[in-house]
Amino acid sequence: MHPSTLQLVQNSGNLPMVAKPLYGILSDALYIGGAHRIPYVSIGVCLPVHALVTDWLCYYYKALSWGSLALIPIASEARPALMACVLLSNLGASIAEVAKDALVAEYGQKNKVPGLQSYAYMASAIGGVLGNLLGGFFLLKTQQTKSMFLAFAAMLALQLTVSLKTREDSLGLSQPSTYPLVRESIPTSIKKQYSELMAVIKEESISRPLFWVVSSILVIPNLSGSIFCYQTQCLNLDPSVIGMSKVTGQLMLLSLTVLYDRFWKNIPLRKLANIAQMSYAFALLLDLVLVKQLNIQLGIPNEVFALCFSGLAETIAQFKLLPFYVLFANLAPRGCEGSLMSFLGSALCLSSIFSGFLGIGLATFLGITSGNYSSLPLGIVIQFFAALLPLHWINSVPVSQVVPEKAMKKGRSKRTRRNRRVGRVLFDSVYSYRRERESDLRW
């Protein structure tokens, strides 16, 4: 496959992630059965309606896509069907991620546990390690992807079962009010939540760090497709080596997250972002070492170098986002956690997609093809200098990671403080209500 084609498919598959703000607004505004987080996790895992071979087979959202890949021969071979399954999987993943991020932010605020996102990062890294190992195990044992897809579908079915059995009130999250209800239409409820989100992101304490973290991804052309094709086509690296490099990367991410939670969370945010961005820029040069075969001159085989260092830049890029997730979770006003965190996720995803298309343009301009990688070193050097550009506007990042209570209150718009709404919609009797929060009446 042409490197640009591979990267185009990879980035196009992330398009459902761009709509995250919509999922976040729905999660904040619309209650399902008296809850507004866990039901959306369940929706993200499941999509009713699909019977494949027998009448007992029914898959939902993400589970549907993996089950289709496992049980429909055409789905794993035809590119349009494969792309549809990827899009469906990412749609479910984006909905579940929005609800998860909002749940973590809301729980952390309610129980005054700042930095709870670091534990979510740890769990995600552990899941990445286990997922990659499980996928590699099935591929090595069966030499078929269908068994791997079926195993993932079974795991998603287990996740769905756990989500359906978990009650949101057992987590101590805010419940719908018992105040008198004012009937509103669903569009009105969503529109008001959208207005609150716009008011929140216009606050300078949110817009400035958001601008920096998004631009730090957006300005860097992503050449991951070209690097992958070079490793497999020119260096003839076994796919299992590249897969294990992902495991190594997740282990490094887990280690970095533990270090952050234990020692680094009190480091000034601007300083930490500066170090992370510089580390990411220099980690990109490790691909240049592999392309120029400098590792061979040092006596390090390609397989060992790729296993240990191939995923380092990606790991640092993921870790760099953690302090910002913590910051925005602390700044999110009550009732707007899902909307704000989903907007952050959407902005990061959109910048990543743009970075991918920028990389496709750079590869095309440099003439990097499946048969010609002579310009790849130049592309990596351009990546390096582009990664240093965000350091010029690093002042947009606040100095402190800790958000004092006064700053949190100040960060809320006057409209938000004056009139906080908790929306609720019950699908057997659809209505929403609006009330004044007692704490806000004291302003």
What per-residue confidence (pLDDT) applies to 414?
A: 44
Axis crossing angle, helix 337-366 with helix 376-388, rounded to the nearest 10: 140
Please report, rounded to a whole number, the percentage of residues in the chain having pLDDT higher than 70: 73
Whether 150 contacts 66, CB under 8 Å: yes
Residue 93 has pLDDT above 80, yes or no: no
- Phi/psi for 427 (5° steps) reads -80, -10
Give the pLDDT score at 182. Answer: 46
pLDDT digits (tens, 9 = 90+) for 128-150: 888 778 777 776 776 666 667 77
pLDDT at residue 46, rounded to an integer: 66
Kindly state the average pLDDT of the residues 283-292.
94
**Confidence at residue 328, expressed as pLDDT on a 0 to 100 scale:** 92
| pLDDT the model gives residue 162 | 81
CATH architecture for segment(s) 3-166+186-413: Up-down Bundle (1.20)
| Mean pLDDT within 7-17 | 71
Q: For 383-414, what is each residue's pLDDT tens digit?
A: 999 999 999 999 999 987 655 444 444 444 44
More confident residue, 356 or 102: 356
Look at residue 360 and tell me whether its pLDDT is greater than 60: yes
Residue 208 clears pLDDT 70, i.e. is over it: yes
Q: What is the pLDDT of residue 321?
A: 94
Contact status, residue 339 vs residue 197, Cβ threshold 8 Å: yes
Distances (CA, A) of 300 to 295, 296, 297, 303: 5, 5, 7, 8
What confidence score (pLDDT) does residue 35 get?
76
Mean pLDDT over each residue of the chain, to the nearest integer: 76
Q: Name the one residue in this structure whose structure tokens are 């991804």.
A: 217
pLDDT of residue 212: 97
Closest CA to 173 of 240, 106, 95: 106
Most confident of 88-97, 123-132, 135-144, 260-269: 260-269
Each residue's pLDDT tens digit, 316-337: 999 999 999 999 988 888 878 7
Residue 244: which pLDDT band, with cuts at 50, 70 and 90? Answer: confident
pLDDT at 17 over 80: no
Kindly state the tokens that stand for 436. Answer: 């004044």
Q: How confident is the model at residue 1 (pLDDT cuts 50, 70, 90)?
A: low
- pLDDT, mean of residues 28-51: 66
Hey, what amino acid is at 295? N
Q: Which two tokens stand for residue 360?
A: 């496709």
Mean pLDDT of 85-111: 78
* Structure token pair of residue 141: 């044992």
In the DSSP assignment, the letter for residue 180 is P
Return the minimum-mean-pLDDT range out of 18-22, 41-45, 412-416, 421-425: 421-425
Phi then psi for 59, rounded to 5 degrees?
A: -115, 155
Asked if pLDDT for residue 87 goes beyond 90, the answer is: no
End-to-end CA distance of the chain: 61
Positive or negative, the CA dihedral 12, 94, 247, 77 is negative
Average pLDDT over residues 218-223: 94
Helix axes 204-218, 337-366, angle to 10 degrees: 30
Report the distance separating Cα 176 and Cα 108, nearest Å: 19
- The residue-averaged pLDDT of 203-213 equals 94
State the pLDDT at residue 144: 65
| Coil/strand/helix, residue 173 | coil
Say which amino acid occupies 293: Q
